[in-house]
Structure 1
Amino acid sequence: MLKQLWVAALFAASSTGALAQAWPDKPLRIVVPYPPGGSSDIIARAVSQPLSEALKQTVIVENKPGANGNTGTDFVAKSTDGHTLLLCDVGALAISPSVYLKLPFDPSKDLKGVSMLAYSPHLLVVNPSVKAGNLKELVALSQKEKIDFAVTAMGSAPHLAGVAVEKATKAKWEYIPYKGGSQAVADTVAGQTHVVMNGMLATLPFVQSGKLKVLGVSKKTRVPLLPDVPTIAEQGVAGFESGTWQGVLMPASTPPAVVSRVAAELARIIQSPEIQQRLASQGAEVAVIAPADFGPFFERERAKWAKVVAEGKVTID
């Protein structure tokens, strides 16, 4: 009997290894559940070609925006082709169960974490016409006149970060919802809205070109690319930190061998000197988390933002 069990285990291991080597046998899709131009889209396009070369299959980046990222996420959660990946803001995904009364998927049960890839803090930025040079002045201004706060997506991490700052400082924002960070930033650049919080990766170029004015960084320490910009914590919101976490997930039915192979390739790709340097020049940090650590991270993020959601009484029908 022991010999039979040993042979069965050996066969299972060899079958698993063979599956990982045989996969993929057709092109892959990386679904980004937001419009083009945002942080997740930037990361997806940075890793797609190297991943294609590593797996010897075409890798297509497909934007599926809608319902604050839930449309594309639901598409991947229900995918059965074994060749569809989700690349999104994992922090925002962890928020969804707290803010949506109904979700067509359960991120903890229907999706399997593959690898975290990158992190970038949020920047609090304003249109250059806004007469405020720091957070304190912006708060004072908001108490005197209407300040439109562009929301990258209702219930997103930047939205809840704005809610947390509003409550801590007694600011008064008028939230204007958008379908993604790129559109929210574009309207703030155009002067349609006054303020936006968004991932540094997608927002820094507008700061560097003078199209947006940065008032604060949502990190515990100042960032090297903006050494003169104080953190939001420095400006009176003690301990405040938020950011955009880009990660890859696959449907829960994906075989562990496939998850392990994709995770290993992505970790190698994202940590390559070329991509690390490219991300660092835009204010993002490589932040690899293995599949085994993905679940605990997700639950910590969910608990963190659930508290903000409850305190801010944020719900989306």
Structure 2
Amino acid sequence: MTPKIPRRLAALALLGAGLALCSPFALASDPWPNKAIRIVVPYAPGGIGDIVARMIQPVLQDELKQPVIIENKPGAAGSLGTEFVAKAPPDGYTLLLALAAPQTLNQYIFKVGYDGVKDFAPITLINTNPLVLMVNPSLPVTNLKEFIAYAKANPGKLNFGGAGGLTQFAGEILKHQVGINMVHVPYRGGAPAVAAAAAGDVHLSFANYSDALTWMQSGKLRAIALTTARRYPQTPDIPTIAESGVPGFDVTGWSGLFAPAGTPPAIVERIANVLRPALQTPAMRKRMETVGAEPGGNSPAEFAKQVANDARKWSEFVKTSGIQVTQ
């Protein structure tokens, strides 16, 4: 015969069970993820950030067993979408496909509502990519030396299209280092800026390699030089700006995945552990190379160090150069 439990003890037991279910400890033990995850891209569709986000989307869906939604939030040179994620709940359900400039540069040259280092939890570097200095074929230049000479002979008459960030800042740095005067014309994305150069609406553009590739192949834009410290293996005939007469010039684009600061480390590590091996597969490397990117895949700690170093570099350059840019 089962002994009877006094009513008072039974009531206390039920109350305790209810409190346990409502406690933050019980909620914290809920499995992650248990609903759709969104990746915010702070630029328009079609650019390198959007392309790379859609490359990693199926990897995350397959491994995490939840839908992954890509949401483009362009505006303010990438700062609009970046700020949105900085202020999102740190629960692992809103991530940022970040580009280098909104994360490490914009806060030093524009007024933004976030700190690119302190307000985010870095997950992993997705890729690196060069920018290409592209000119409309109507411009009578075929190399950087000729371009600089032409720009000096025509001060203020050249304009270049960009989408803010590095596509603008690369031009500003070149202006500062070689003493030329060009006017920046803003566009909402890298792809529209390059298309404008091909149409002759602007004279040139500093384009992400993925945005430049089709135009280079068609001959509708002329590639003058790369912004990175070394040549890119896919197009070894295109020299760098550094080797073409501007020593030390190095503006390297990258994409990386971030969560809002305060996201549980276990979630950050789990996402990183899904992506890192996937980025190193031959299939992913081949896909990256088709858009002029080289896959990343470092640890959250390594990526955090890289982001902090980049932010420090740009902060010091802005201070020492006195450079000013407009959105």
Q: Give the TM-score taking structure 1 as reference length.
A: 0.88
CA contact (8 A) 1:122 1:198 kept: yes
How many aligned positions are there? Answer: 299
What residue is the counterpart of 2:158 in the other structure? 147
What residue is the counterpart of 1:118 in the other structure? 127
What residue is the counterpart of 1:194 in the other structure? 203
- Are residues 312 and 177 of structure 1, via their aligned partners in 2, closer, same or farther at CA, if it must alter by over 3 Å? farther
- Equivalent position amino acid for 2:260 in 1: P
- Note the C-alpha offset of 1:123: 0.6
- Equivalent position amino acid for 1:263 in 2: A
Q: Which residue, 48, 70, 73 being the options, matches 1:64?
A: 73
- Equivalent position amino acid for 1:51 in 2: L
Counterparts of 1:301 and 1:91 in 2: how far apart (Å)?
9
- Note the C-alpha offset of 1:282: 2.6
Ranges in structure 1 where 5+ consecutive residues have no aligned partner: 1-15
What residue is the counterpart of 2:186 in the other structure? 177
What residue is the counterpart of 2:109 in the other structure? 99
CA contact (8 A) 1:76 1:250 kept: yes
What residue is the counterpart of 1:292 in the other structure? 301
String of CA shifts for 1:74-107, please: whole Å, max 9, x gaps: 111111153011002134410022112x321222
SS in 2 for 1:57: coil
What residue is the counterpart of 2:221 in the other structure? 212
- Equivalent position amino acid for 1:253 in 2: G
Q: Which moved more, 1:266-275 or 1:41-50?
A: 266-275
Counterparts of 2:187 and 2:317 in 1: how far apart (Å)?
20
Structure 1 residue 127 and structure 2 residue 136: aligned? yes
- Equivalent position amino acid for 1:149 in 2: F
- Are residues 274 and 213 of structure 1, via their aligned partners in 2, closer, same or farther at CA, if it must alter by over 3 Å? same
Q: Which moved more, 1:90-99 or 1:124-133?
A: 90-99
CA RMSD of superposed structures (Å): 2.1
Counterparts of 1:315 and 1:209 in 2: how far apart (Å)?
32
- Equivalent position amino acid for 2:92 in 1: G
- Are residues 164 and 20 of structure 1, via their aligned partners in 2, closer, same or farther at CA, if it must alter by over 3 Å? farther
- Note the C-alpha offset of 1:316: 5.1
SS in 2 for 1:242: coil
Structure 1 residue 278 and structure 2 residue 282: aligned? no
What residue is the counterpart of 2:257 in the other structure? 248
Q: List structure 1 runs of 4+ shifted beyond 6 angstroms.
A: 18-21
SS in 2 for 1:150: strand
Q: Which moved more, 1:59-68 or 1:87-96?
A: 87-96
- Note the C-alpha offset of 1:312: 4.5
Q: Which moved more, 1:292-301 or 1:185-194?
A: 292-301
What residue is the counterpart of 1:78 in the other structure? 87
Q: Which moved more, 1:303-312 or 1:283-292?
A: 303-312
- Equivalent position amino acid for 2:283 in 1: E
CA contact (8 A) 1:164 1:308 kept: no
String of CA shifts for 1:31-75, please: whole Å, max 9, x gaps: 000001111111001110121111111111110011111111111
String of CA shifts for 1:144-191, please: whole Å, max 9, x gaps: 3311111221xx123222122122222221111222212211111111
- Note the C-alpha offset of 1:241: 1.3
String of CA shifts for 1:208-267, please: whole Å, max 9, x gaps: 122211000122222222222211111110021112110010011211100000011111
Counterparts of 1:177 and 1:304 in 2: how far apart (Å)?
24
Counterparts of 2:120 and 2:263 in 1: how far apart (Å)?
9
- Equivalent position amino acid for 1:56 in 2: K
Counterparts of 2:193 and 2:175 in 1: how far apart (Å)?
18
What residue is the counterpart of 1:159 in the other structure? 168
- Are residues 139 and 312 of structure 1, via their aligned partners in 2, closer, same or farther at CA, if it must alter by over 3 Å? farther
- Are residues 130 and 21 of structure 1, via their aligned partners in 2, closer, same or farther at CA, if it must alter by over 3 Å? farther
Q: Give the TM-score taking structure 2 as reference length.
A: 0.86
Counterparts of 2:88 and 2:173 in 1: how far apart (Å)?
35
Identity fraction in percent: 38
- Equivalent position amino acid for 1:225 in 2: Q
What residue is the counterpart of 1:40 in the other structure? 49
CA contact (8 A) 2:128 2:293 kept: yes
